[in-house]
Amino acid sequence: MLETYGDHWVLAIGGALIGLLFGFSAQRSKFCARAAVIECCEGEWRQRFAGWMLAFASAVLVVQFAISLGFLKPETSRQLGSLGSISGSVLGGLMFGMGMIMTRGCASRLIILSANGNLRAWISGLVFAVTVQATISGALAPIRQNIASWWLIDGGADRNFLNYFGVSSWAGLLIGFVFLGVAVWRFRETSGSAKPMIWENIFVGLAIAAGWLFTQWVASASFEPVAVQGLSFSGPSAEWLTRVLYTETAPKFAFDAGLLPSVFVGSLIASVFFGEFKFEGFQTENKLGHYLSGAILMGFGGVLAGGCTVGAGMSGGVVFSNTAWLTLISIIAGAAMTYKFLKIIGAPT
Contacts 24+ apart (CB under 8 A), 290-294: 290/102, 290/347, 290/348, 291/102, 291/103, 291/104, 291/120, 291/123, 291/124, 292/123, 292/124, 292/127, 293/99, 293/102, 294/98, 294/99, 294/100, 294/101, 294/102, 294/103, 294/124
Angle at which helix 198-221 crosses helix 255-273, to 10 degrees, equals 160
Give tens-digit pLDDT for 44-57. 888 899 999 999 99
Read off the amino acid at residue 54.
Answer: L
The CA distance from 123 to 90, in Å, is 27
> Which residue ranges make up each domain of the chain?
2-345
Nearest residue to 198 via CA among 207, 185, 210, 187? 187
Is the separation of the CB atoms in 15 and 257 below 8 Å? yes
pTM: 0.94
Share the mean pLDDT of the chain: 90
Confidence of residue 191 (pLDDT cuts 50, 70, 90): low
Pick the more confident residue, 284 or 254.
254
Is the separation of the CB atoms in 298 and 96 below 8 Å? yes
Confidence of residue 7 (pLDDT cuts 50, 70, 90): confident
Residue 209 confidence (pLDDT): 98
Give tens-digit pLDDT for 297-336. 999 999 999 999 999 999 999 999 999 999 999 999 999 9
The CA distance from 25 to 189, in Å, is 22
Question: Which H or E run includes 85?
Answer: strand 84-85
Q: Is the pLDDT of residue 240 over 70?
A: yes
Concatenating the DSSP letter of every residue in 268-300 gives HHHHHHTT----B--SSTTHHHHHHHHHHHHHH
Give tens-digit pLDDT for 114-147. 999 999 999 999 999 999 999 999 999 999 999 9
Contacts 24+ apart (CB under 8 A), 276-283: 276/27, 276/116, 277/116, 277/117, 278/116, 278/117, 279/117, 279/118, 279/119, 280/117, 280/118, 280/119, 280/120, 281/119, 281/120, 282/119, 282/120
Confidence of residue 169 (pLDDT cuts 50, 70, 90): confident
